[in-house]
């Protein structure tokens, strides 16, 4: 099964409402889709890099350039997903670009053999419980309305984005309004420093499941110190770019929970390694998100069905993000999403919708 060529396709996806985090506000998603073509099957991957390098150093134009200039030319001729990582390893970093390409090769291979990604990865569930990540709002009443809507829809866990000036008050208000049984957690996207430890300890009063990435991505030692000062468990997102990072963070005591995002760590194979390692050390993992379309979501839901994913993920329904998704929409049923069962990632873009949202497409022959 030889790779004939790779298409890089950019699509513009307006979000149903602006999504504000401590690093910026997103009102639409500029997505890079990768399509790997072989004589037997095609495969899709969604690059999760955002328009600007604010969450991490990657950004979508940079990812496209990496793919066309270095990564696609370095692909092994045969579409062997296990060989992709080693072939791309000489190029430092750019894990989101690598993940998209490896996922597209893996999808093509699995479609050709008729196996689902969930089955390939070792999924043990047919559906996964879903949480939702709620952005920073202009006011607490606005936040309470948004959370009420999500609780009404059936989301089993709420994550509040926080930053200095938007932390204790919104958490307290949500806890008071929705009660102690609501599964609640927060995500700071690296907005604090160790000097904020006493302030962050005020969150201990609210029975949070976890605090995600309070400090900078390279502050592993500081996270370990902070962990000893807080009652709330620390979960790392931005800090964990590989299984090696996860092993280091766990052994340092920098976190007791890991947010696994396949794009951030270079793909689903590395994501599975992190799952395996954390499971062996008794560290809970959950599947994060990067506002994916149905293409990326399908693969994330398959990963989230592995046995070590013991906490609800940020794998929300399509309509939480997009009025019209590029695939048939993922819909919440009793707070869960069904794991796709078809070959590969199990979904495909709807051609007419894809055409409407496409802003550019580029074919790179092999």
Q: Which residue number, 123 or 132, has a Cβ lying nearer to ligand OSB?
A: 132
Dist. CA 257–CA 186, nearest whole Å: 13
Dist. CA 20–CA 139, nearest whole Å: 13
Q: Which residue number, 291 or 305, has a Cβ lying nearer to ligand OSB?
A: 291
Output the residue with the shortest Cβ distance to Mg ion. Answer: 237
Q: How far is the CB of 74 from ligand OSB (least distance, A)?
A: 28
In the three-class reduction of DSSP (H, G, I as helix; E, B as strand; rest coil), residue 59 is classed as coil
Site string for Mg ion, 134-163 (x = CB under 5 A): ------------------------------
Dist. CA 344–CA 210, nearest whole Å: 33
Annotated active-site residue 161? The verdict is yes
Q: Which residue number, 38 or 56, has a Cβ lying nearer to ligand OSB?
A: 56
**Site for Mg ion contains 237 (CB under 5 A):** yes
Retrieve residue 59's tokens: 């950004």
User: How many residues are listed for the chain in this entry?
Assistant: 366
Residues 234, 184, 176, 207: what is their CA dihedral angle, to the nearest 10 degrees? Answer: -40
Contact partner, 239, from ligand OSB, Mg ion, none, Cβ < 5-8 Å per class: none
User: Which is the catalytic residue, given 92, 98, 159, 261?
Assistant: 261
Contact partner, 348, from ligand OSB, Mg ion, none, Cβ < 5-8 Å per class: none
Binding site for ligand OSB (CB under 6 A): 55, 133, 187, 189, 237, 288-291, 314, 316
Dist. CA 164–CA 104, nearest whole Å: 39
Annotated active-site residue 159? The verdict is no
Q: How far is the CB of 1 from ligand OSB (least distance, A)?
A: 32
Retrieve residue 347's tokens: 């979904």
Sequence-ordered list of residues with C-beta below 8 angstroms from that of 288, at least 6 positions apart, any chain:
237, 259, 260, 261, 264, 313, 314
The answer to whether 95 and 290 have CB atoms below 8 angstroms apart is no
Q: Which residue number, 103 or 316, has a Cβ lying nearer to ligand OSB?
A: 316
152-211 residues in contact with Mg ion (CB under 5 A) are: 187
Residues marked as catalytic: 161, 261
Q: Which residues bind Mg ion (CB under 5 A)?
A: 187, 212, 237
């Amino acid at each position: 099964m030889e790779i004939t060529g790779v298409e890089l396709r950019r699509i513009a996806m307006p979000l149903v409402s602006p999504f504000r985090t401590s690093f910026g506000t997103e009102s639409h998603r500029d997505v890079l889709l990768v399509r790997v073509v072989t004589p037997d099957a095609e495969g899709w991957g969604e690059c999760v890099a955002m328009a600007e390098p604010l969450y991490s150093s990657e950004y979508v134009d940079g990812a496209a350039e990496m793919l066309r200039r270095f990564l696609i030319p370095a692909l092994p001729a045969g579409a062997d997903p296990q060989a992709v990582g080693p072939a791309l390893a000489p190029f430092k970093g750019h894990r989101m670009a690598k993940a998209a390409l490896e996922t597209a090769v893996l999808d093509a291979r699995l479609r050709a053999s008729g196996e689902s990604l969930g089955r390939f990865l070792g999924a043990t569930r047919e559906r996964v419980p879903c949480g939702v990540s709620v952005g920073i709002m202009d006011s607490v009443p606005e936040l309470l309305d948004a959370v009420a809507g999500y609780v009404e829809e059936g989301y089993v866990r709420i994550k509040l984005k926080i930053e200095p000036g938007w932390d204790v008050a919104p958490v307290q208000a949500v806890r008071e309004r929705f009660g102690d049984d609501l599964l609640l957690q927060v995500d700071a996207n690296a907005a604090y420093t160790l000097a904020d430890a006493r302030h962050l300890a005020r969150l201990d009063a609210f029975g949070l499941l976890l605090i995600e990435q309070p400090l900078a991505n390279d502050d592993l030692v500081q996270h370990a110190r902070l962990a000893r000062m807080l009652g709330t468990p620390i979960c790392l997102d931005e800090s964990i770019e590989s299984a090696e990072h996860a092993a280091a963070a766990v052994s340092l005591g920098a976190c007791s929970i890991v947010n696994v995002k396949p794009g951030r760590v270079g793909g689903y194979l590395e994501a599975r390694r992190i799952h395996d390692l954390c499971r062996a050390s008794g560290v809970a993992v959950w599947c994060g998100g990067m506002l994916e379309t149905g293409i990326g979501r399908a693969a994330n839901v398959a990963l989230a069905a592995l046995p070590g994913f013991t906490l609800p993920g940020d794998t929300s329904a399509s309509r939480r993000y997009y009025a019209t998704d590029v695939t048939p929409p993922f819909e919440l049923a009793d707070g869960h999403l069904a794991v796709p069962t078809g070959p590969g990632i199990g979904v495909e873009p709807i051609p007419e919708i894809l055409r409407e949202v496409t802003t550019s497409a580029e074919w790179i022959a092999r």
